């Protein structure tokens, strides 16, 4: 249970907040949110005992939270100027900053500014309302800002219908180097622009065991698996280059899609089928080199903003995680759950293949598959199965579309 308390002057936002929370309950997107009145001029949100405040306009933020700036009078500050300001002020959230071609929403992330951009921004109140509702539902700030714009835009596109935003056309575009307007707008990115990555064979995706030795890769390929990944987390592992060579040879022999996790230089040098990277790698890995070498690229994502950001790079698949609690990896984010997964899948549609990962076992595979994902990635469900062949066969029986039966 969380609480969202509004100051008197912001109670008109309830026209949006109430239906949004009802929609979230309907889709089972989070815990119940109790609405109340704030005794100060700021909005107060409390989630599991943790309090954050949001101050809008001239109201000054005191304590932990966000200072939201969303009212602009010409002459407007430039995008480059606001990028700098937000990078220096972690609490500053900028909504609807007018730019040469549209509007930008900007927020702070790990010492830098991140932004979404769109041409039609919708109104201020629905954006404020969704920002508050989604923060109270425990979405991270980047997703709350992204949802805020998607909702404000959807109110316009859907003739004032007060519904949870589902369609891609409502969502803004992250400003990355791949955004055609980023340079003109004066937005500086750490990444470089890249062309679309090679495509995977969707018929071979389906079950995707992620394993930690070349031996396991060879074993799952023998069991009939057609997509797998070598995930060795220790970069000083002396046998790493040999293991990568082994899995590439095994992948070719079985005509399988074998990915290398993290070590993109090694993957390029050994002409691997593909490489899987996390969000942080987007700023450091040479994506252009991976693309030019013809390797497939899989990208990890953990929510709305990361999905949209990943999509900008046109990867070979987008991984969505972690869906359920997992003991395989320490995760900084919370499990997404099935309901959020279903909406992410709807947002991505058939734009890119999707891979669900995290805590998926045989008992959960059917409901995950029903969300429409293209693939189910598992670690323990195969590597710790008493009988891995039986586990692979059981997954293969579940991961079938009606047209294939
Ligand atoms: C298929 C698939 N999805 C997600 C991940 C996680 O990748 P990343 O976020 O880079 O974390 P590490 O695996 O490197 O710890 C993955 N490996 N595979
Ligand atoms: C590598 C990784 N990335 C997100 S969850 C995860 C581990 C999934 O392991 P398991 O299938 O055992 O829960
Ligand atoms: Mg990684």
Q: Ligand 3 centre from 277 Cα, in Å?
A: 5
Quote the CA–CA distance of 307 and 315 in Å, as a whole number: 11
Residue 160 has pLDDT above 80, yes or no: no
Per domain, the residue ranges of the chain are 2-185, 202-404
Was 116 annotated as part of a binding site? no
Give the per-residue pLDDT at 402.
86
Which burial class, exposed, middle or buried, applies to 109 when counting CB atoms under 10 A from its CB (0-12, 13-18, 19+)? middle
ipTM: 0.99
Mean pLDDT of 259-281: 97
Q: Ligand 3 centre from 192 Cα, in Å?
A: 19
In short, whether 356's Cβ falls inside 6 Å of ligand 2 is no
User: With bands split at pLDDT 50, 70 and 90, how would you rate the model's confidence at 127?
Assistant: very high
Indicate the pairing of strand 257-261 with strand 173-174: unpaired
Give the per-residue pLDDT at 361.
98
Give the per-residue pLDDT at 79.
97
In short, whether 379's Cβ falls inside 6 Å of ligand 2 is yes
Residue 164 has pLDDT above 90, yes or no: yes
- Cis, peptide link before residue 62, omega less than 30° from 0: no
Report helix, strand or coil for 148: helix
**Inter-CA distances, 126 with 18, 122, 148, Å:** 12, 8, 7
Which burial class, exposed, middle or buried, applies to 102 when counting CB atoms under 10 A from its CB (0-12, 13-18, 19+)? middle
Quote the CA–CA distance of 301 and 287 in Å, as a whole number: 17
Give the per-residue pLDDT at 155.
86
Going by the DSSP 8-state scheme, the letter that residue 37 receives in this structure is E
Which ligand approaches the C-alpha of residue 233 most closely? 1
Report helix, strand or coil for 363: helix
Residue range 202-404 forms a domain whose CATH class is alpha beta
Q: Kindly give, in sequence order, each residue whose CB lies less than 8 Å from that of residue 344, ignoring residues fewer than 6 positions away.
A: 301, 303, 304, 307, 320, 336, 354
Quote the CA–CA distance of 76 and 55 in Å, as a whole number: 21
User: With bands split at pLDDT 50, 70 and 90, how would you rate the model's confidence at 268?
Assistant: very high
Which burial class, exposed, middle or buried, applies to 325 when counting CB atoms under 10 A from its CB (0-12, 13-18, 19+)? exposed
Quote the CA–CA distance of 120 and 98 in Å, as a whole number: 10
In short, whether 358's Cβ falls inside 6 Å of ligand 2 is yes
User: With bands split at pLDDT 50, 70 and 90, how would you rate the model's confidence at 36?
Assistant: very high
Q: Whose CA is nearest to atom 5 of ligand 2?
A: 358
Quote the pTM value: 0.97
Q: Ligand 1 centre from 263 Cα, in Å?
A: 12
Please identify, by atom number, the ligand 2 atom nearest to the C-alpha of residue 326: 13
In short, whether 298's Cβ falls inside 6 Å of ligand 2 is no
Using one digit for the tens of pLDDT, what is the confidence trace for 85-124?
A: 999 999 999 999 999 999 999 999 999 999 999 999 999 9
Residue 159 has pLDDT above 80, yes or no: no
Give the per-residue pLDDT at 82.
98
Q: Whose CA is nearest to atom 6 of ligand 2?
A: 358
Q: Could you give the percent of the chain with pLDDT greater than 70?
A: 100
Quote the CA–CA distance of 348 and 373 in Å, as a whole number: 10
Q: Kindly give, in sequence order, each residue whose CB lies less than 8 Å from that of residue 265, ignoring residues fewer than 6 positions away.
A: none
Average confidence score pLDDT of the chain: 96
Residue 259 has pLDDT above 80, yes or no: yes
In short, whether 77's Cβ falls inside 6 Å of ligand 1 is no
Residue 219 has pLDDT above 90, yes or no: yes
In short, whether 16's Cβ falls inside 6 Å of ligand 2 is no
Quote the CA–CA distance of 273 and 247 in Å, as a whole number: 10
**Inter-CA distances, 73 with 76, 148, 185, 349, Å:** 6, 21, 19, 38
Residue 156 has pLDDT above 90, yes or no: no
3-state secondary structure 230-282: ECCCCCCCCCHHHHHHHHHHHHHHCCCEEEEECCHHHHHHCCCCEEEECCCHH
Using one digit for the tens of pLDDT, what is the confidence trace for 353-382?
A: 999 999 999 999 999 999 999 999 999 999
Mean pLDDT of 58-78: 94
Mean pLDDT of 220-230: 98
Was 110 annotated as part of a binding site? no
Give the per-residue pLDDT at 157.
79
Q: Whose CA is nearest to atom 1 of ligand 2?
A: 329
Using one digit for the tens of pLDDT, what is the confidence trace for 293-332?
A: 999 999 999 999 999 999 999 999 999 999 999 999 999 8
């Amino acid at each position: 249970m969380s609480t969202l308390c509004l100051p008197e002057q912001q109670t008109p936002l309830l026209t949006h907040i109430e239906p949004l929370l009802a929609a979230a309950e309907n889709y089972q997107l989070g815990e119940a949110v109790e609405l109340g009145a704030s005794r100060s001029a700021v909005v107060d949100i409390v989630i599991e005992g943790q309090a954050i405040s949001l101050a809008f306009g001239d109201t000054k933020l005191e304590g932990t939270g966000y200072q939201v700036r969303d009212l602009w009078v010409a002459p407007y500050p430039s995008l480059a100027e606001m990028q700098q300001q937000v990078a220096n002020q972690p609490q500053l959230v900028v909504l609807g900053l007018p730019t040469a071609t549209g509007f930008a929403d900007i927020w702070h992330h790990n010492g830098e500014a991140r932004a979404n951009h769109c041409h039609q921004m919708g109104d201020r109140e629905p954006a404020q309302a969704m920002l508050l509702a989604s923060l109270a539902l425990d979405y991270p700030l980047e997703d709350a800002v992204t949802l805020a714009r998607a909702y404000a835009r959807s109110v316009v596109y859907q003739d004032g219908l007060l519904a949870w935003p589902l369609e891609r056309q409502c969502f803004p575009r992250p400003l990355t180097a791949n955004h055609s307007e980023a340079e003109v707008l004066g937005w500086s990115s750490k990444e470089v622009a890249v062309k679309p990555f090679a495509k995977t064979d969707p018929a071979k995706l389906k079950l995707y065991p992620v394993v930690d030795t070349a031996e396991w890769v060879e074993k799952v390929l023998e069991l009939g698996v057609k997509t797998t990944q070598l995930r060795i987390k220790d970069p000083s592992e002396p046998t790493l280059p040999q293991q990568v060579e082994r899995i590439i040879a095994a992948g070719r022999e079985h005509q399988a899609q074998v990915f290398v996790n993290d070590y993109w230089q090694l993957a390029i040098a050994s002409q691997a089928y593909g490489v899987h990277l996390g969000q942080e790698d987007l700023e450091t890995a040479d994506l252009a080199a991976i693309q030019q070498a013809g390797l497939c690229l899989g990208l990890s994502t953990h929510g709305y903003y990361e999905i949209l950001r990943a999509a900008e790079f046109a990867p070979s698949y987008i991984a969505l995680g972690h869906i359920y609690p997992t003991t395989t990896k320490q995760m900084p984010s919370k499990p997404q759950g099935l309901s959020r997964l279903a909406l992410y899948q709807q947002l991505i549609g058939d734009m890119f293949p999707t891979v669900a990962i995290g805590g998926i076992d045989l008992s959960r595979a059917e409901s995950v598959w029903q969300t429409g994902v293209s693939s189910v990635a598992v670690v323990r469900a195969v590597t710790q199965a008493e009988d891995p062949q039986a586990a692979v066969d059981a997954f293969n029986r579940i991961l079938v579309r009606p047209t294939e039966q």
